[in-house]
Amino acid sequence: MPWITHTMMSQRSEFVRFASQAGVNMRELCRRYQISAKTGYKWRRRFAQGGEAALVDQSRRPKHSPRLSSEALSERVIALRRQYPGWCGRKLRRRLQDLAEPAPAASTCTAILRRAQLLGAPTTAVRPLQRFARAAPNELWQMDYKGHFPTQTGVRCHPLTVLDDHSRFNLVLAAAADQTAATVQAALQAAFSLYGLPEAMLCDNAPPWGCPEPVCPYSSLGVWLLRWGVRVLHGRPYHPQTQGKEERFHRTLEHELLSRHTWRDLAHCAEQFPRYRHIYNCERPHDALDGATPVSRYQPSPRRLPTVLPPLDYPVHTVVRKVRTYGVITWSNRSWYIGRAFAGQSIGLRPSPQTDGLWEVYYGHHQLGHIDLRTPALPKHQLQSIYQPPL
């Protein structure tokens, strides 16, 4: 309404007093105050019925909203949000459906949360990402450490996480005190006993799974995995998108659990981590799974963990060499570098069926690299690596 002074209420008060005088020309008065005749009569009527207080703007909210969510439904959505404080309206709706309860639209759940002031500022829409996933459970597990954080006792917690690539099922969520190979092995041993062996593990290039030697991609932990028949894959250096599912899980873990507690000690972490893991796997709808829970898409691996580690068994006509202390074997009067992590282990050599002078190097059933006798011999003080691609 285009009032011509800075104080709207003073203009309205002045106008209705002029308009209430006997013999006033209403249309001319409305033109001078630059309002419509309809608006002028409205304000004069309100002033006559309620005085000065009636000149305040009234709410445009309808007195009756037949389509408004019931109070009981709103209270249920709010209660569920308080139970899962990190969930949005879409996840709350799916959770109500899973519980066979009345479930409004996701936008309605969001509106209920916003009216209850349980939502922050709206976030900017991001471009949807193209998702890639393995075709079946246990084809690939992703493994990484979440950034460590201090507890009140001063001891730092290093959350170790393992995720199934196909189902996003969280297999390991451990409150570790360090990032050593022994700690990872203990956590993986427990996971293998419960869920079986995966086909492959994907990890980054940092310790303990990354090897400090530039010519050998295997650490002692990698050799341990190969010994169980699990292939070891590494992401591109400085390219965390390779382990995008782990990175996204860490973001969710931070938002829904880590940032919502003051952690006393490692025992407190070990107490709360399994509770959240159950919620994540069995209750929380996952957007990448069309709202399904990870447990509904996961099955334990048919590859059971053996009670005793089977011996390395190579086929007939395989030449077996033992890796020396410094990670070296000798073949055809040359020294070939296998890697210090393989020291004391038996390595199998088989001639390539396609190329003369090329030998395939195996550790168990896994091919490590090649010995290429077609290349010129290096001086005795230099070692040739089996991980270089053959010419």
Per-residue model confidence as pLDDT tens digits over 26-47: 898 888 888 899 999 998 998 8
Q: What is the pLDDT of residue 4?
A: 47
Quote the percentage of the chain above a pLDDT of 70: 94
Calculate mean pLDDT across residues 303-311.
89
Whether residue 2 has pLDDT greater than 90? no
pLDDT at position 1 is: 47
Instruction: Centre a 10 Å sphere on the Cβ of residue 357 and count the other Cβ atoms it contains.
Output: 13
Q: Give the pair of three-digit tokens for residue 161.
A: 């996480």
Tens digit of each residue's pLDDT (9 = 90 or more) over 236-254? 877 778 888 999 999 999 9
| The token pair that represents 388 in the structure block | 């270089």
Asked if residue 219 has pLDDT above 60, the reply is yes
DSSP state of 240: G
| Res 32: pLDDT | 84
197-206 average pLDDT score: 93
Q: Which of 127, 95, 13, 152 is nearest to 285 (CA)?
A: 95
> Given this model, what pLDDT does residue 5 score?
45
Residue 248 CB coordination number (10 Å): 15
Tens-digit pLDDT profile for residues 135-192: 999 999 999 999 999 999 999 999 999 999 999 999 999 999 999 999 999 999 999 9
Residue 121 CA to residue 108 CA, distance in Å, equals 17
Q: Cα dihedral sign for 185, 191, 195, 198?
A: negative
Question: What's the confidence (pLDDT) of residue 259?
Answer: 94
CA-to-CA distance for 175 and 22, rounded, in angstroms? 84
DSSP secondary structure letter of residue 242: G
pLDDT, averaged across the chain: 89
Q: Please give the model's pTM, rounded to 2 decimal places.
A: 0.78
Residues 54-95 have pLDDT tens digits of: 888 888 877 766 667 788 889 999 999 999 998 999 999 999
Residue 205: the pLDDT is 87
